[in-house]
Structures are given as structure tokens and as C-alpha cells.
Amino acid sequence: MKVKSNILLIYTGGTIGMIKDFETGALKAFNFSELLQNIPELKLLEHTIDTVSFKDPIDSSNMNPVYWIQIAKIIEDRFENYDGFVVLHGSDTMSYTASALSFMFENLTKPIIFTGSQLPIGDLRTDAKENLITSIQIAGLQKQGKPVISEVGLYFEYKLYRANRTTKINAENFQAFSSSNYPPLAESGVHLSVNNNVLWKTNRRRKTKLHTNFNHEILILKMFPGINESTVEHMLSKKNLKGVILETYGSGNAPTDAWFINLLKKHISKGLFIVNVTQCIAGSVSMGQYETSTQLKKIGVVSGKDITTEAAVAKLMYLLGSELSPKVFKTIFETSLRGEML
């Protein structure tokens, strides 16, 4: 017997929410109050679907922590009324937003599934319908009266990923996202197959708690051959700067020039948090493995291990909002909080 779940669909903006005006050829915002009329396939689902939309849907390029909190508040205010949530979001910054929500909801006991599309929902060859329909099915999965998924996921092109493990890798293909360091949570084919062994385990005895304190005074400093002292000094001297994502080579390697190490050391001593994340699409930071990362470890750079840049940004903002001591910050950042790192 199939279980009927109550699902809330949240539209924030993005390509999936567009429909083509066939008279003008222009894209226009989709009216989600008429969802069932425009996507009759949803009537075949066993779930009850309600919708809520941003008053002014935004392009995901304009996404920021204020909107992250808005999405989270919509979910928190309706948390007891629904069994699962599906967030429709532009694909360009979806991994950032989905990662952020994974940290915001401590001890999440219900699924929050992000999805979107590469083509508008009204396009003849759209990927939007499959992404939307399957995301709703996943959000509604239950076993013995409990949600099968109890974490923030990202569904795209037949695969459900842990959201804070994802990166957008392609601007044109339907398979737009990758989770190089963690396997899919579920795959959609003839059957919907869930990989139960890799799902995040939640303590259902504890209540879900929302955290909304973000400090976004951070920046990403990407290493490249030829980076110079004046550039790094200028960036690290930014007023009110609290944290830096240092995108290094390979397994966490960076220049060994004295000026570089001394600059980082100086700013760390003044209270700046610096996290080492690899530029590689897969693999992990392992500081001390090579001479080019040994100095970083000695001066107090924090290891991002195998975290993505997107998740590192969200986690850094999240932890900076708690005003932790350097020692506590390092311990917590290097610990997996929501399955974002090994």
C-alpha cells in the first residue's frame, strides 16, 4: 500500500519556473497556483502537493544568505504540516543554497530536496518535469511511517545527491551536477532505488533546530601560478574580513615563498580563519603530505579535507556566526556535521 504524503513545493526562481510565451518566444514566470493544470502528470502522484512562491522570484545569481534564511523560515513555519519539502531553485548557485540549508537545520528529520532544470518547464525537450516529479516522489518516500530521507538532498538528471557534496559541473548538459567524493543517495530508472547505506542518520528523538546566524564577511582566495604578494596582501587586508577559503593545488599545496606563508601567519594571528580546500573536482586536502603544505599546517590553516568549495563557504559562514575560539573553530570545521566531509 502506497503512503500518501503531504509535500510543500517552494519556488524561489530559476529556469525551472519559466514557461515560454509561444506568441513572443520570450520566457515568463510560471504561475505555480496553476501547477496541476500545467503539469497534469502530477495528478498521478499519490501525494498531496501545496505550493508557495517567493513574492518576487529571483535569478539564482542574485541568491545570498538573506534568501537562504527566507527559504529556511518558510520550511520552519510549516515544518509540522508537511512530510517533505521540495525547493525549486536556479541551478547556478543551487549547491551553495542547498549546502547552507544543510547546516542551518540541525537534526533534520524530514527531507528537503532541491531541484531545478536546464530548460524551462514549458520547453518541448525540458528536463524540468522529470526532475520535479521525481523530487516530489523522493520527498514523499516513507517507511513504517517515517521519512526515508532525513537530510537536504539535490536531485538532478536521475540522481539524488547529498546536497552539501555537490558542485555544478556543466552549464549545458542535463547532467549538470556531480558529487565526486560521495555516492548518490538514490537513482531513478525503471525503479526508484535508494542507497540506504549512505543516507545520513538522524536522531529522531531530538527536535529539528534552525540556525540563522551567518557571517558572510569571507572571500575565496584561489591559488594560481604567478599570484603575487601585493594581491594577497590587498585581499587579506579587507576591512571586517573574518574568514578565507584558500583554494589550493592538489592535496592542499600552495607556494612556499616566505612572503606568502608570513602573510597568512600574520592574519591568522590577528584572528582570521583560513580553510584549505582543494581546487580539484575530486579528492581531499591532506596537509603535511608534501613540503608545499607542511607550512600551512604549522601556521594554523584549517583543513577542509574533501569538502566542496560550495559547502566550505556555507560552513564557514555558519560557524563564523557563532564566534568560536580558533581552537574550537578548527575542531568543529574539521568534523563532519551533516555528512559534508569524511
Which residues are marked as active site?
A: 15
Which three cell numbers mark 11? 519556488
Number of C-beta neighbours around residue 32 at 10 A: 16
Helix residue ranges, H only, the chain: 35-38, 65-77, 94-104, 128-139, 229-236, 258-269, 291-299, 309-320, 326-333
Return d(Cα 40, Cα 55) in angstroms, integer.
Answer: 24
Distance between CA atoms of residues 341 and 314, nearest Å: 13
- What are the angstrom distances between the C-alpha of 273 and each of 214, 241, 340? 15, 9, 19
CA angle 263, 332, 71 (to 5 degrees): 100
| Residues making up the chain, counted from first to last | 342
* Contact by Cβ (8 Å): 202, 108: yes
Helix (H, G, I), strand (E, B) or coil at 184: coil
Torsion on CA atoms 36, 41, 43, 49, rounded to nearest 10: -60
